[in-house]
Amino acid sequence: MTEPAVADRPAGERIPAIEAVDVSRTYQLDGVSVEALRGVSLTVQPGDYVALVGPSGSGKSTLMHLLGGLDRPTGGRLVIGGRDVNALAPPEMATLRNETIGFVFQAFHLLPRTSAVENVALPLVYRGVSARQRRERAAAMLGRVGLGHRLDHRPNQMSGGEQQRVAIARALVTEPTVLLADEPTGNLDSVTGAAVLELLEQLNAESGVALVMVTHDQEVAARAHRRITMRDGVVVADSADPRSAHDRPPSVDHGRPATLVPAPSAEPRSASGSGPGHPSGGSGGAAGATGRLPREVERPGGTG
Amino acid sequence: MRVAEAWRVALDALRANRLRSALTMLGVIIGVASVVLLVAIGTGTKQKVEQQVEGLGSNLLLVVPGRIEVGNAPVVSPLTLKDVDAVTRVVGDPDRVAVTVASGATARAGARSDFTTVQGVLETTPAVFTRSLARGRYLTGTDVDTSRRVAVLGDSVARALFPDRDPLGQQVALAGVRFRVIGVFAPLGQSLGVDRDDEVHVPVTAAQRLWGTQRVDGIAVKAPDRERIDELGERIVAELNRRHPDTEFSAVTQQQILGVLGDILGVLTGVLAAIAGISLLVGGVGVSNIMLVSVRERTREIGLRKAVGARPRDIGVQFLLEAVLLTTIGGLTGMALGVGTALLVDALSPIPAAITWWSLALAFGVSAVVGIVFGVVPAQRAGRLDPVVALRTE
């Protein structure tokens, strides 16, 4: 373990916001293990603006959940805000999320029948902030996202763009070090989406909160300072962010080379009775015939 | 999360589903209301019986031949007024000793008649049995000593025979023999379905002559104090046994009568409360069921709350409070309903009902406990939900 068990905020520039080393995540589904992530290493520095791209099923969402402390890795080391998540009990994980992470979801996830200001204040409830202070801070945050005039509106009285702004305000009201946005513009039309994106970028630039955004949209991804591309549970490309390249350890800059060993679950399925000439399941060589494997390693600079 | 905050969240959740919350509470309301009502009826009945037994007079000792047990045939009394004199010597105070020789008889006055109980008594009866007169006077020592044919009527008898006349000074025929009415008792009312005003008191000597007997059915003694009442009873029984070696005698106190009656009524009340308690239990199962539905329905909300920093405990407490709120609000409503119904029953029907603080405390406590017990499983389930899975739920 590295020594800073608790993050020292004043020295935040030195300590990575999130550090993942060879992180893997395996699910058990009906007795079959599915490897969603197989050895991902990356570092998010305070103030980063990262786009996480990749096809469906590439492990982006799993990685987001891990980076946000909603889930734990089954292998490797994950340090969020200076704390190793493997050493944390569920209540400590909750506190860690509350203090260091802000989430923005594609579907907004606002509480219905609850005013904008109360939605924004929700994370502060779990921090034990008094009701008056919560309202003050939530109202101020709503002002920053341009909704100072809609404090007491409920989600069903607001447009999609406004709802996402409320969700952004809720994510930032705790002054987290990392803002994780999962397809934040996915449910919005292009104009509204662009405005929300601009807001996120502006907040990232102003407050220094690291912005990690999962997106399908290549245009959106192109605006990020750094792009991490995933496929089949590994990072296949990680463009360096020129702004912070000088103080990032080079060893974790790129994902380590993806292995070409196929997952056991990737074997072709053949009806057991009908293939007498095919006595045993294929080994590594047979996997190539499926057309799904092998993966290619995409080098930085290959996109955009 | 602060407790006040948790209460607010739980209340909001209940308010969001008013109809469902109300229906869920209904099970608890009915359970608690029936517990309160049935315990009130049981307690009321017990209190009324106790009042009536105590209303006989305080520190009373009833001496009768035979053993007082369920199933024993009544014994023909061997007691006479001589035995009464012996008992009086034991007691030491003639004013504390009363007797009765009773028999059914038809009372007539003019064209009206009423079948009633005629009691031959001593002049000490009002002092021993705490009876008061509405009008006229009671029997005197002289009435008893001279077997004077005078009678004191119970309220029912007086109404039956003299509905529109003042009975004082009127003649009344008891078993064909004429007596003069000298007094009317103040009404006592019903006791365990028996009209206690349906009786006529005459001097014991006159009654014995009327029926041609020397016997006395029973002796009642008003003990000077509660402490020595048992010892006094033993001495009286010993004296009577000495005089009548062939007969057993019993001396029972009000406390003993109350004890037996109280036990019976207590068991009855307990059984009623237990039956009502079952419906409260069923109400609790309903709460558990609805809370499970609520957890499932709000899976996404749980996921979101966890994402922004709610600990498993925060979520668990939130749902537990919701369940407890359901049952306690239901419990309070049920208490109000039970008390209201009990008061109505007491006022409008012959069934007595008395509210006791312990039955209210018990009903409220049980409903809160039901909320906790039946809320724990849904609350734990909510607290343990995986936030990743919860957020993905549609």
What was the pLDDT predicted at A251?
Answer: 40
What was the pLDDT predicted at A213?
Answer: 95
Contact A94 B2 (CB under 8 A): no
Q: Which chain A residues are within 8 Å of B310, Cβ to Cβ?
A: 94, 126
What was the pLDDT predicted at B10?
Answer: 86
Contact A71 B388 (CB under 8 A): yes
Name the pLDDT band for A259 (thresholds 50, 70, 90): very low
The strand pairing partners of B46, in sequence order, are none
Contact B309 A170 (CB under 8 A): no
* Residue B303 C-alpha, separation from nearest chain A C-alpha, in angstroms: 9
b/e map B136-150, b = 16+ CB within 10 Å: bebbeeebbeebbbb
Distance from C-alpha of A43 to C-alpha of B2, rounded to nearest angstrom: 36
Minimum-distance CB partner of A91 among B305, B311, B386: B311
What was the pLDDT predicted at A257?
Answer: 42
Distance from C-alpha of A228 to C-alpha of A210, rounded to nearest angstrom: 14
What was the pLDDT predicted at B46?
Answer: 85
pLDDT by 10s per residue, chain B, length 394? 567 788 888 888 888 889 989 999 998 999 899 989 988 988 888 888 888 777 776 788 888 887 765 555 666 788 899 999 999 998 888 888 999 999 999 999 988 999 999 999 999 988 888 788 998 999 999 999 999 999 999 999 999 999 988 999 999 999 899 999 999 999 887 766 678 889 999 999 999 999 999 999 889 998 888 788 888 989 999 999 999 988 888 888 877 878 888 888 888 888 888 888 888 888 888 888 999 998 998 899 999 999 999 999 999 999 999 999 999 999 999 999 999 999 999 999 888 888 888 888 888 888 888 889 999 999 999 999 999 888 887 6
| Alpha helix segments (H runs only) across chain B | 3-16, 18-55, 81-91, 125-129, 141-145, 155-161, 204-211, 229-243, 254-297, 299-307, 312-348, 357-384, 387-392
Q: Which residue has the higher pLDDT, A27 or A256?
A: A27
Judge whether residue A255 has pLDDT over 80.
no
Contact A128 B313 (CB under 8 A): no
Q: Which chain B residues are within 8 Å of A113, Cβ to Cβ?
A: 12, 16
Contact B309 A97 (CB under 8 A): yes
In B9-48, the residues whose Cβ lies within 8 Å of chain A are 12, 16
Residues of chain A with pLDDT > 90, as a percent, come to 64
**What separation, in Å, do the N-terminal and C-terminal C-alpha atoms of chain B show?**
26
Name the pLDDT band for A14 (thresholds 50, 70, 90): low
Q: A9-258 is classed in which CATH architecture?
A: 3-Layer(aba) Sandwich (3.40)
Task: Please check whether residue B3 touches A, CB under 8 A.
Answer: no
Contact B391 A70 (CB under 8 A): yes
Q: Which chain B residues are within 8 Å of A95, Cβ to Cβ?
A: 309, 311
Summarised one tens digit per residue, pLDDT across range A60-90 is 989 999 999 999 999 999 999 999 999 999 9
How do the domains of chain A map onto residue ranges?
9-258
**Mutant choice from A95, A96, A106, A126 vs B, greatest count of B C-beta within 10 A:** A126
Is residue B240 within 8 A of residue B95, CB to CB? The reply is no
In A88-117, the residues whose Cβ lies within 8 Å of chain B are 90-91, 94-95, 97-99, 103, 105, 109, 111, 113-114
Contact A65 B2 (CB under 8 A): no
* Residue A90 C-alpha, separation from nearest chain B C-alpha, in angstroms: 7
Nearest to B276 by CA among B181, B342, B230: B342
What was the pLDDT predicted at A264?
Answer: 46
Contact A90 B312 (CB under 8 A): yes
How do the domains of chain B map onto residue ranges?
3-52+259-392, 76-247
Judge whether residue A51 has pLDDT over 80.
yes
- Joined together, the tokens standing for residue B25 give 């509470």
Residue labelled with tokens 């609850």: A114
Summarised one tens digit per residue, pLDDT across range A236-249 is 999 853 443 444 44
Q: Which chain B residues are within 8 Å of A125, Cβ to Cβ?
A: 1-2, 5
Mean pLDDT of chain A: 80
Distance from C-alpha of A73 to C-alpha of A75, rounded to nearest angstrom: 5
What was the pLDDT predicted at B4?
Answer: 79
What was the pLDDT predicted at A242?
Answer: 44
Is residue A49 within 8 A of residue A260, CB to CB? The reply is no
Contact B304 A68 (CB under 8 A): no
The pLDDT of A146-151, averaged and rounded, is: 93
Task: Please check whether residue B2 touches A, CB under 8 A.
Answer: yes
The strand pairing partners of B241, in sequence order, are none
Task: Please check whether residue B73 touches A, CB under 8 A.
Answer: no
Q: Pick the residue from chain A with its C-alpha nearest to B388.
A: A70
Summarised one tens digit per residue, pLDDT across range A96-140 is 999 999 999 999 999 988 999 999 999 999 998 998 999 999 999
Contact B305 A126 (CB under 8 A): yes
In B180-219, the residues whose Cβ lies within 8 Å of chain A are none
Note the residue count of chain A: 304
Summarised one tens digit per residue, pLDDT across range A177-191 is 999 999 999 999 999
Is residue A99 within 8 A of residue A151, CB to CB? The reply is no
Task: Please check whether residue A256 touches B, CB under 8 A.
Answer: no
Minimum-distance CB partner of A127 among B301, B304, B309: B309
Task: Please check whether residue A27 touches B, CB under 8 A.
Answer: no
**Mutant choice from B17, B300, B302, B308 vs A, greatest count of A C-beta within 10 A:** B308
Q: Pick the residue from chain A with its C-alpha nearest to B13.
A: A113
Burial of A285 (0-12, 13-18, 19+ CB in 10 A): exposed
- Joined together, the tokens standing for residue B297 give 């329905």
The pLDDT of A286-301, averaged and rounded, is: 40
What was the pLDDT predicted at A272?
Answer: 42
Contact B5 A105 (CB under 8 A): no
Judge whether residue A3 has pLDDT over 90.
no
Is residue B172 within 8 A of residue B161, CB to CB? The reply is yes
Contact B314 A126 (CB under 8 A): yes
Q: Which chain A residues are within 8 Å of B17, Cβ to Cβ?
A: none
Task: Please check whether residue B312 touches A, CB under 8 A.
Answer: yes
